[in-house]
Amino acid sequence: MMPTSTLYICYFGLREPLVQTQVLPYLRQLVAAGFGVHLLTFEPDLRERWTTEATEAQRLELAAEGIGWHALAYHKRPSLPATLYDIAAGARFSARLVRRHGIRLIHARSHVAAAMGAAAKRLTGRPLVFDIRGFFPEEYVDAGVWPAGGRLFRLAKRVERRLLEASDGFVVLTEKAREILFPGGTEGHDARGRPVEVIPCCVDMGRFGAAEALTKAEARRELGLADERRVMVYVGALGGWYLTGEMADLLALAHAEQARTFSLILTQSPPEMIADALRERGVAEASFLVRRVAPADIPRYLKAADAAVSFIKPCYSKLSSSPTKLAEYLASGLPVICNAGVGDVDAVVEGDRVGVVVRELSRESYRAALAGVETLRRDPDTSARCRDTAARRFDLETVGGARYRRLYERVLAKSRK
């Protein structure tokens, strides 16, 4: 008997870190649960970046894991016509895949992919899961790309409403997003009885558990750090949604208050974005390190730290966000200093006593946050409490994989009626 199969549409390239860390791990969970999985990605510069040999090798590698990989070219310019072209091409290709492989369910990651999925649903009759990764129209307004209430914003909201209407099940990242998008629904369903799952950005707890064999002293020796130093860590991008200047203010204050502080910044962004900011604020060159680190090595670096930082622009669209870095920090047993107004972060950090929430981006608030995280560091139960929160709320298998499987089963059961 052939397994029930799904087509996962992702409007990103396979090699992008987001796909490697937040798409493929979930798909592997679905394969482990017995689902057949097909993945459609959109590759920038497809012909230049993917040779025939590399494409075939990647297909074989994913096929060995139970994932059938399909790729189309991503078009960037001119922006709107290019995206509309990709939507049309993706919808036609998706419909062909559904018919050829007997796929039972279409799963679309974010709005552009959902537009493809909705069209493919009309062509094939298969149910559609809309994996809502954020408030897409509001993100463009909050980023200053579109004016609030402008023509493109209104058009995007109109399309979003149609996608919500056309879908048979939904994924959101936060409880706040569920409450905003599906008022009048019950837990687990919208007002029409369609399944809704809240699935935050999860982590593979096994990756971080493997780092437990490494002691903090050993991790610090690898970095050339003395045991008595207080290590503050940040993982992720700089600039844009991420409050790099404010983070530099916090870290500079930490250095001023405690001379043995060391700042460890792990980022794929240009290092000068934070290095220059720290120098300008008087942090000595020998007291910080900015480094590009492969995702697989993140747990080893986090093992060397004492506390972590997550500062993200607090705005309406970010109520739908679930920072992956939060789950990674907690899985490493690290208390967190974060700012208020981002997804469910406030409720998790304060409710589980795994960090300090900064309500105002001010020197006084930073000083109070540093004092609060010092208190947590001295509590011998803090690390275990952080890891417990990560396991209960963000585990890839027991939270992410289990909820995706449950959603699939509910959507497929409704489609058979």
> What letter would DSSP give residue 282?
T
Q: Read off φ and ψ for residue 284, nearest 5 degrees.
A: -65, 145
Does position 416 have pLDDT exceeding 80, yes or no?
Answer: no
**Of 301, 190, 295, 330, the residue nearest 322 (C-alpha):** 330
Residue 355, pLDDT score: 98
d(CA 407, CA 48): 38
**Of 47, 198, 61, 44, the residue nearest 131 (C-alpha):** 198
- In the chain, the amino acid numbered 11 is Y
DSSP β-bridge partners for residue 361 = none
Reading the block at residue 20, the tokens are 């490697």
Residue 2, pLDDT score: 59
pLDDT in tens, 86-121: 999 999 999 999 999 999 999 999 999 999 999 999
**Of 30, 385, 397, the residue nearest 205 (C-alpha):** 397
d(CA 51, CA 55): 6
Our measurement of the distance from residue 122's CA atom to the centroid of its chain's CA atoms, rounded to an integer in Å, reads 29
d(CA 130, CA 127): 10
d(CA 373, CA 306): 9
Q: Residues 177-185: what's their mean pLDDT?
A: 93
Does position 212 have pLDDT exceeding 80, yes or no?
Answer: no
Computed on alpha carbons and rounded to an integer, the radius of gyration of the chain in Å comes to 22
Q: What is the helix, strand, coil percentage profile of the chain, to 5?
A: 55, 20, 30
Measured CA to CA in angstroms, residue 172 lies from 190, 199, 348, 403 at distances of 12, 6, 16, 11
Average pLDDT, the chain: 95
Quickly tell me which residue has 């947590």 as its tokens. Answer: 376
Q: Read off φ and ψ for residue 224, nearest 5 degrees.
A: 75, 30
Query: Which pTM was predicted?
Result: 0.93
> What letter would DSSP give residue 318?
G
d(CA 282, CA 174): 38
Quickly tell me which residue has 């909705």 as its tokens. Answer: 118
Q: Residues 61-79: what's their mean pLDDT?
A: 96
> What is the C-alpha end-to-end distance of the chain, expressed in Å?
21
User: Confidence class of residue 3 from pLDDT cuts 50, 70 and 90?
Assistant: confident
Question: Would you say 153 and 146 are in contact if contact means Cβ atoms under 8 Å apart?
Answer: yes
* Phi-psi sector, 239: left (phi>0), alpha (psi -120 to 50), beta: left
Reading the block at residue 31, the tokens are 């394969």
Residue 186, pLDDT score: 82
Angle of helix 382-394 relative to helix 324-331, nearest 10 degrees, comes to 130
Question: Would you say 50 and 72 are in contact if contact means Cβ atoms under 8 Å apart?
Answer: no
User: pLDDT higher for 167 or 417?
Assistant: 167
Which residues lie below 8 Å from residue 122, measured CB to CB, with a gap of 6+?
none
Q: Residues 66-88: what's their mean pLDDT?
A: 95
Domains present along the chain, CATH in parentheses: 5-202+395-416 (3.40.50.2000), 205-394 (3.40.50.2000)
DSSP β-bridge partners for residue 71 = 41
Does position 1 have pLDDT exceeding 60, yes or no?
Answer: no
Question: Would you say 148 and 160 are in contact if contact means Cβ atoms under 8 Å apart?
Answer: no
Q: Which residues of 54-85 are buried (b: 16+ CB within 10 A; e: fewer)?
A: ebeeeeeebeeebbbbbbbebbeeeeeeebee
Q: Residues 267-271: what's their mean pLDDT?
A: 96
Question: Would you say 287 and 255 are in contact if contact means Cβ atoms under 8 Å apart?
Answer: yes
Q: Residues 22-27: what's their mean pLDDT?
A: 96
Reduced to 3 states (helix: H, G, I; strand: E, B; else coil), residue 21 is: helix
Q: Which residues of 131-167 are buried (b: 16+ CB within 10 A; e: fewer)?
A: bbbbbbbbbbbbeeebeeeeeebeebeebbeebbebb
Residue 349, pLDDT score: 98
How many helices (H) and strands (E) the chain has is answered by 19, 13
Helix (H) or strand (E) holding 100: helix 79-101
d(CA 237, CA 327): 16
CA angle in degrees (0–180, nearest 5) for 294-298-300: 120
